[in-house]
Amino acid sequence: MIKLKDFEVWFVTGSQHLYGKETLKQVDADSKKIAEYLDKSANIPCRVVFKPVVTTPDKITSICVKANNAKNCVGLITWMHTFSPAKMWIAGLSILKKPFVHLHTQFNRDIPWKSIDMDFMNLNQSAHGGREFGFICSRMRKNRKVVVGHWQDPEVVEKLDIWMRAACAWNDWQGMKVARFGDNMREVAVTEGDKVEAQKKFGYSVNGYGVGDLVAVINKVDSKQINSMVNQYKRDYKVKLTAAQLEAVRTSAQIEVGMRTFLEKGGFKAFTTTFEDLHGLVQLPGLPVQRLMADGYGFGAEGDWKTAALVRAMKVMATGLNGGTSFMEDYTYHLDPKGMKVLGAHMLEVCPSIASGKSSLEVHPLGIGGKADPPRLVFNVPQGSGVNVSVMDMGNRFRMLINPCKVVKPDADLPKLPVARVVWQPEPNLKVAAGAWILGGGAHHTGFSMALTAEHIEDFAEMADIEYLMIDKNTTISNFKKDIRTNEVYYMLANGLK
Ligand code: MN
């Protein structure tokens, strides 16, 4: 469903005419080599397209206009091989709508100590050319990532890979449609927010659809479609069901086909449900939601459109990487001082992309909502590193919280727990992590990923130009409180700077 190779990043090199034709030809050739190297790298997720060196304000503005209008261009890599007087960049940068990364590299990795002369010095000027470009970006308060090092350094390629993934997700959000089946869970605060502001800030639109409209599509699903879906379940999961449970699974298959049809026809990339509004649906959709998430749809329960959009973005970023990405909820704690942990889960809707091995398809009663027993996939999650992310509407801005964690084995089997679950230890430890999370107003719902790192999310937050607060191994509660207070002032004033 998601193909990152459909997206392009444009490689744009700045220079000026002062150097003469020969040098500019060399700059052009060197830039082309770097762009091709990155394009061919197995560790780069999308295409890297070389663009001829820009040497005048008009050319710079023109490439920025073109990038804005190219639908599949997700951003620019900018590089100053030589010195590019940066007033030339003001017009272009002020209209550029796409994210950019400043690659602060040099074509020659090493100084040729014995042969270096003024010609070499004049050609390899990134060290000061990059500083001139950096100044104008900072002077214009431009959010961007700066990556420093030789272009063949694997660490540099990795940082570009991370940034490109974030840029693809950002591009995916522009014009994205999020469907809400039913509204918000009644009286819940954190899942609410300003959808108009979100559309202005993030580019995606959120609209509500009557559950009856979805039910009408589900009712049109025929038994052939249901049979084929049930057969798919039998191939994909461990299935051991009674006749009555199989009937529930058939109902679930019908709901899944209907939801897929609705979402595909409407061109939606993310959706929400709420157990408080299931009018005409016999079950809360569990299995269908899990399977739709596994196919790349963003999801948020209880009307949580912000998390639905976030999960979709994280899935785009994680495309092709090891480890899955899911909607998640901090559900319950293990507060033993010898090893405090969080058990993450949801009533049903956890994505099987994070499962270890084959999931078990089971039917159990749901103690909430008063509907028929819903089928769901039950599984554990392998150990490894993960990250939890949350976006909240703070009234005057959106805030993103990021908390890396270590997924650990549950202390024992959980034979009576009828849902998918993840057990993790947040960084730096549960006491500080949960304390900071709560002081930061972080939601109980998150996007959880074992494919992404905090750096993916940080790059994405820069592109979205929102506040992000990291809770990691260096966090202390008193410093975190200071960050929050500083940010309160910053975000009140920041719009005046830009
Ligand atoms: Mn929930």
Q: Which residues pair with 270 in a beta bridge?
A: 178, 298
Contact 12, 28 (CB under 8 A): no
Give the confidence band of 392 by pLDDT, cuts at 50, 70, 90. Answer: very high
Q: How far apart are CA 360 and CA 377, in angstroms?
A: 5
How much distance in Å is there from the Cα of 11 to the middle of ligand 1?
43
Longest CA pairwise span in the chain (Å):
84
Q: What is residue 498's predicted lDDT score, i.e. its pLDDT?
A: 66
How far apart are the C-alpha atoms of 32 and 42, rounded to whole Å? 18
The answer on pLDDT for 217 being more than 80 is: yes
Q: 371: CA distance to ligand 1 center in Å?
A: 17
Calculate how far, in angstroms, residue 444's C-alpha sits from the geometric centre of ligand 1: 7
Q: Of the candidates 39, 40, 25, 99, which has an alpha carbon nearest to the alpha carbon of residue 64? A: 99
Span from the CA of 346 to the centroid of ligand 1 (angstroms): 6
CA–centroid distance, 329 to ligand 1, in Å, is 6
Q: Find the 91 Cα to ligand 1 centroid distance in Å.
A: 46
Q: What is the C-alpha to C-alpha distance for residues 464 and 462, in angstroms, rounded to an integer?
A: 5
Distance (Å, rounded) from C-alpha 218 to C-alpha 405?
39
Report the C-alpha gap between 124 and 477 in whole angstroms. Answer: 46
Report CA(313)–ligand 1 centroid distance (Å). 19
Question: If you measure from the C-alpha of residue 300 to the centroid of ligand 1, how many angstroms do you get, rounded to a whole number?
Answer: 8
**Is residue 495 very low, low, confident or very high in pLDDT (cuts 50, 70, 90)?**
confident
Measured in Å, residue 225 CA sits from the centre of ligand 1 at: 30
Q: How confident is the model at residue 19 (pLDDT cuts 50, 70, 90)?
A: confident
Cα(315) to centroid(ligand 1), Å: 19
Q: Model confidence over 313-337: pLDDT tens digits? A: 999 999 999 999 999 999 999 999 9
494 — pLDDT class (breaks 50, 70, 90): confident
Query: In the structure encoding, which two tokens stand for residue 4, read together?
Result: 């990152």
- pLDDT tens digits, 123-156: 999 999 999 999 999 999 999 999 999 999 999 9
Distance 30 CA to ligand 1 centre (A): 52
Span between the terminal Cα atoms of the chain, in Å:
37
Q: What tokens were used for 392?
A: 């909240």
CA of 321 to the centre of ligand 1 (A): 27
Q: Is the pLDDT of residue 413 over 90?
A: yes
* Count of residues making up the chain: 498
Ligand 1 midpoint to CA 348 (Å)? 10
Q: Which two tokens mark 491? A: 């975000």
Ligand 1 center from residue 302 Cα (angstroms): 6
163 CA to middle of ligand 1, Å?
30
Distance 461 CA to ligand 1 centre (A): 24
Q: What is the mean pLDDT of the chain?
A: 96
Angle between helices 154-173 and 454-464 (to 10 degrees): 50
Predicted pLDDT of residue 140: 96
Q: How far is the CA of 448 from the centre of ligand 1 (A)?
A: 14
Predicted pLDDT of residue 371: 86
Task: Evaluate whether 180 touches 25 at the Cβ level (below 8 Å).
Answer: no
* 398-416 mean pLDDT: 97
Q: What's the pLDDT score for residue 147?
A: 98
Instruction: Decide if pLDDT at 1 tops 80.
Output: no
Å from CA of 411 to ligand 1 middle: 24
pLDDT tens-digit map of 164-181: 999 999 999 999 999 999
CA of 23 to the centre of ligand 1 (A): 60
Asked if residues 112 and 158 have their Cβ atoms less than 8 Å apart, the reply is no
How many Å lie between the centroid of ligand 1 and the Cα of residue 12?
A: 44
Q: How far is the CA of 445 from the centre of ligand 1 (A)?
A: 6
Residue 347 alpha carbon to ligand 1 centre in Å: 7
The pLDDT score that the predictor gives to residue 183 is: 95
**How do the residues of the chain divide into helix, strand and coil, expressed in percent and rounded to 5?**
40, 20, 35
Q: Residue 483 half-sphere exposure, CB side, CA atoms within 13 Å?
A: 18
Q: What's the 13 CA to ligand 1 centre distance in angstroms?
A: 47
How far does the centroid of ligand 1 lie from the alpha carbon of residue 349, in Å? 9
What is the Å distance from ligand 1's center to 52 Cα?
A: 50
CA 190 to centroid of ligand 1, rounded, Å: 11
pLDDT tens digits for 428-484? Answer: 999 999 999 999 999 999 999 999 999 999 999 999 999 999 999 999 999 999 999
pLDDT value at residue 148:
98
Q: Do 253 and 236 touch, CB atoms closer than 8 A?
A: no
Query: According to the model, what pLDDT value does residue 486 have?
Result: 97
CB atoms within 5 A of ion ligand 1 belong to: 301, 329
pLDDT tens digits along 264-277: 999 999 999 999 99
Provide mean pLDDT across the span 37-43: 97
Q: Mean pLDDT across the stretch 353-358? A: 95
Q: Determine the average pLDDT of the residues in 66-91.
A: 96
The pLDDT of residue 362 is above 90: yes
SS3 of residue 237 by DSSP: coil
According to DSSP, the residues that pair with 272 across neighbouring strands are 180, 300
Cα of 452 to ligand 1 centre, how many Å?
A: 22
pLDDT of residue 18: 86
